């Protein structure tokens, strides 16, 4: 165990958020030293990744894929930073890496909690390691290619289509030769994904009837649905699935603020009628595939086929406004906080 005297600001929950009111639920605190246990290291953070899924750990639900973050404890997520002190033989001072750490100026990282990985900033900006070259990029890739098993000519639909994961999933399906339809929350996002990102069509779920619009845009039926939201959107897509279609379950945005488990889709019977495959996938299950997936993503990135805008919020103290964007829908692409 070692100690470092540093001014470290960090975010905690003072109470569980009601709905998406993070302003009243989160607070920033400060300490004057950090303790680094044996086998761990400390990073000085440059960027903190804002991930919609973290909302699940801000509830009391024990049945999520990770336990809730207790009130008063430091909030956690993916951070990018440089090691400034290490009590681990393989992680050296000066290494720049992506790891699972606190939402703070300095993170104390236990490399066993979720494996950290060294990043190479000679070819791309550091923040891209929580975008195309990070968990969102791998999630989009695995969801489309391995879980969705798309084929050229398939009709592919993705929700939260202008957000980080959805925008990449749509582009990867396009690269794979699919017809791609995105579902998003504003006309501006719908225009953007079609005009700038090559989607073949878009639906504004706030102003249009998803089921009717899908019938119009995909009369042949949907072969693969990359589901980021569940709930009523899933029901609308179920009505439009083609026989033997696939629902790749990535996220549950409509449900994250709920304190209880919500009932399954109203259209459950259509899973049988249309002989559908439902399959969930979760990024820590494929972190070990970074060396295989990142070169593929890198080729697409370099050739301009896969693009991801990154919205940077300056200052740890402004983290709440950055995090809220994901639930207000005011982001396009990835949201990060620059520390
Ligand atoms: N399975 C995995 O391993 C894994 C890994 C990473 C992410 N994910 C999932 O991927 C999804 C996207 O996450 P992200 O971090 O990339 O965030 P993001 O898509 O960049 O941001 C979230 C977007 O979702 C939309 N949204 C918010 N609340 C919604 C609601 N109630 N109904 C419909 N749309 C809503 C908003 O855009 P609109 O304007 O369109 O509303 C917002 O921009 C989440 O479900 C997340 O849990 C899963």
List the residue whose alpha carbon is closest to atom 30 of ligand 1.
254
Under a CB-based contact definition with an 8 Å cutoff, are residues 251 and 52 in contact?
yes
Residue 257 pLDDT = 84
Average of pLDDT values for 316-322? Answer: 98
- Kindly state the percentage of the chain with pLDDT values over 70: 100
| Whole-angstrom distance, CA of residue 192 vs CA of residue 202 | 9
> Cα of 282 to ligand 1 centre, how many Å?
14
327 lines ligand 1 (CB under 6 A): yes
User: Given ligand 1 and candidates 329, 330, 336, 337, which is best to mutate, with the most ligand atoms within 8 Å of its CB?
Assistant: 329
Is 90 exceeded by the pLDDT of residue 261? no
Residue 172 has which token pair? 């990867």
Average of pLDDT values for 187-194? Answer: 98
CA distance to 38, 86, 92, 93, 328, per residue, from 89 (Å): 10, 8, 7, 10, 43
| Whole-angstrom distance, CA of residue 237 vs CA of residue 232 | 9
User: Given ligand 1 and candidates 132, 165, 332, which is best to mutate, with the most ligand atoms within 8 Å of its CB?
Assistant: 165
Q: Hey, what domains does the chain have and what are their CATH numbers?
A: 2-129+309-338 (3.90.180.10), 135-284 (3.40.50.720)
Q: State the chain's mean pLDDT as an integer.
A: 96
Average of pLDDT values for 86-93? Answer: 95
Is 90 exceeded by the pLDDT of residue 263? no
- Kindly state the percentage of the chain with pLDDT values over 90: 90
Q: Tell me, yes or no, if the pTM score tops 0.95.
A: yes
Counting atoms of ligand 1 from 1, which one is nearest the CA of 186? 39
Q: What is the pLDDT of residues 1-41, one digit of tens each?
A: 999 999 999 999 999 999 999 999 999 999 999 999 999 99
Residue 323 has which token pair? 């995090």
Counting atoms of ligand 1 from 1, which one is nearest the CA of 183? 40
Residue 259 pLDDT = 76
Which of the 8 DSSP states describes residue 70?
A: P
Average of pLDDT values for 135-149? Answer: 98
Counting atoms of ligand 1 from 1, which one is nearest the CA of 335? 20
Under a CB-based contact definition with an 8 Å cutoff, are residues 294 and 133 in contact?
yes
Residue 116 pLDDT = 87
Q: What is the pLDDT of residues 214-245, one digit of tens each?
A: 999 999 999 999 999 999 999 999 999 999 99
Residue 151 pLDDT = 98
How would you class 245 by CB atoms within 10 Å of its CB: exposed for 0-12, middle for 13-18, buried for 19 or more?
A: buried
């Amino acid at each position: 165990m070692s100690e470092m005297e540093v001014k470290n600001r960090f975010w905690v929950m003072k109470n569980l958020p009601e709905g998406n009111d993070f302003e009243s639920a989160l607070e920033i605190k400060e300490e004057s030293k950090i303790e680094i246990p044996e086998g761990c290291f400390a990073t000085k953070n440059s960027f903190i990744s804002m991930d919609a899924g973290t909302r699940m750990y801000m509830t009391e639900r024990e049945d999520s894929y990770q336990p809730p973050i207790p009130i008063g404890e430091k909030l956690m997520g993916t951070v990018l930073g440089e090691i400034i002190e290490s009590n681990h033989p393989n992680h050296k001072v000066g290494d720049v890496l992506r790891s699972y750490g606190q939402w703070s100026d300095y993170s104390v990282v236990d490399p066993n909690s979720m494996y950290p990985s060294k990043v190479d900033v000679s070819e791309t900006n550091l923040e891209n390691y929580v975008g195309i070259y990070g968990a969102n990029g791998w999630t989009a890739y695995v969801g489309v290619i391995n879980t969705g098993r798309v084929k050229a000519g398939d009709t592919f639909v993705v929700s939260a289509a202008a957000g980080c994961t959805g925008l990449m999933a749509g582009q990867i399906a396009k690269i794979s030769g699919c017809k791609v339809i995105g579902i998003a929350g504003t006309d501006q996002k719908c225009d953007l994904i079609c005009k700038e990102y090559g989607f073949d069509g878009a639906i504004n779920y706030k102003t249009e009837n998803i089921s009717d619009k899908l019938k119009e845009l995909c009369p042949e039926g949907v072969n693969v649905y990359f589901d980021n939201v569940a709930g009523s959107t899933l029901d609308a897509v179920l009505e439009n699935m083609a026989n033997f279609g696939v629902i790749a379950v990535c996220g549950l945005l409509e449900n994250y603020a709920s304190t209880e488990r919500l009932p399954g889709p109203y259209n459950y019977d259509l899973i049988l009628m249309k002989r559908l495959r439902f399959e969930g996938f979760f990024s820590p299950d494929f972190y070990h595939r970074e060396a295989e997936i990142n070169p593929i993503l890198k080729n697409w990135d370099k050739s301009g086929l896969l693009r991801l805008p990154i919205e940077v919020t300056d200052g740890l103290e402004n983290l709440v406004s950055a995090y809220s964007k994901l639930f207000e829908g005011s982001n396009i692409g990835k949201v990060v906080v620059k520390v």
